[in-house]
Amino acid sequence: MTDRMLVRLKVNGDDYEFEIEPRVNLADALRHHLGLTGTHVGCEHGVCGACTVLVDGVSARSCLMLAVQADGCEVTTIEGLAADDGTLDPLQEALSEHFGLQCGYCTPGVLMTLVELRRELNGQAIDEKTVRRKLAGNLCRCTGYQGIVDGALAALNSHP
Ligand code: FES
Ligand code: FES
């Protein structure tokens, strides 16, 4: 039997400490050990982007990262995006308004990628080509991408 290792994570502001086999990836740790099933798993080899989360503020494929590699890190998942009272993040609202999701399987990964983009932009305007380049690593089988891009542009270019 494989020895378990102790992992400490801060996920969406909450502290977790658990023992896990070193072979378990971060996506499975989030889903099966912490019950945070909003992070989806598609290809399991780094291609589809469904499992994208933020690790110390930087997007990461959680299917390619071992949970033990994230020890001591701050992880943000889709569950951490809405406010505590349930108010959706403006990116979530915009994707909904612009029909940027159908089955929703890719949506958590898309949104976490866009959260990173929003931080990188720091209030600067963005054009469609740049949004599409940023989302090139997030595959969607449903929407044809236009709704996702429209929603992203609306949210990222609105600066109340
Ligand atoms: S499940 Fe991780 S990139 Fe597809
Ligand atoms: S909304 Fe279905 S895969 Fe993107």
CB 106 within 8 A of CB 135: no
Provide φ and ψ at 101, rounded to 5°. -150, 150
Q: Are residues 138 and 109 in the same domain?
A: yes
Pairing assessment for the beta strands 74-76 and 5-11 based on DSSP bridges: parallel
Within a domain: 108: yes
State whether the beta carbon of 106 lies less than 6 angstroms from ligand 2: yes
pLDDT at site 159 = 67
Count of domains in the chain?
2
pLDDT tens sequence across 71-114? 999 999 999 999 999 999 999 999 999 999 999 999 999 999 99
Q: Are residues 76 and 112 in the same domain?
A: no
Contacts of 126 (CB under 8 A, 6+ apart): 117, 153, 156, 157
Q: Are residues 108 and 58 in the same domain?
A: no
Amino acid sitting at position 145 = Y
> Residue 99 CA: which ligand is closest?
2
**160 — pLDDT class (breaks 50, 70, 90):** low
pLDDT at site 1 = 58
Domain final residue, candidates 48, 80, 112: 80
Residue 152 domain boundaries: 90-156
Per cent of the chain over pLDDT 70 is 98
CB 19 within 8 A of CB 6: yes
**Separation between Cα atoms, residue 21 and residue 4, nearest integer Å:** 4
Q: Are residues 20 and 73 in the same domain?
A: yes
pLDDT at site 64 = 98
**158 — pLDDT class (breaks 50, 70, 90):** very high
- Angle of helix 107-121 relative to helix 146-156, nearest 10 degrees, comes to 30
Domain final residue, candidates 23, 56, 80: 80
State whether the beta carbon of 61 lies less than 6 angstroms from ligand 1: yes
Cα torsion 125, 130, 135, 137 to 10°: value is -140
Probe ligand 1: pick from 31, 44, 140, max atoms within 8 Å of CB? 44
Q: Are residues 73 and 128 in the same domain?
A: no
CA atoms 80, 38, 75, 106: torsion sign: negative
pLDDT tens sequence across 36-75? 999 999 999 999 999 999 999 999 999 999 999 999 999 9
Determine the distance separating the centroid of ligand 1 and the alpha carbon of 46, expressed in angstroms.
4
Instruction: For the chain, give percent helix, strand, coil, nearest 5.
Output: 35, 15, 45
State whether the beta carbon of 8 lies less than 6 angstroms from ligand 2: no
Rounded to two decimals, the pTM is 0.96
State whether the beta carbon of 139 lies less than 6 angstroms from ligand 2: no
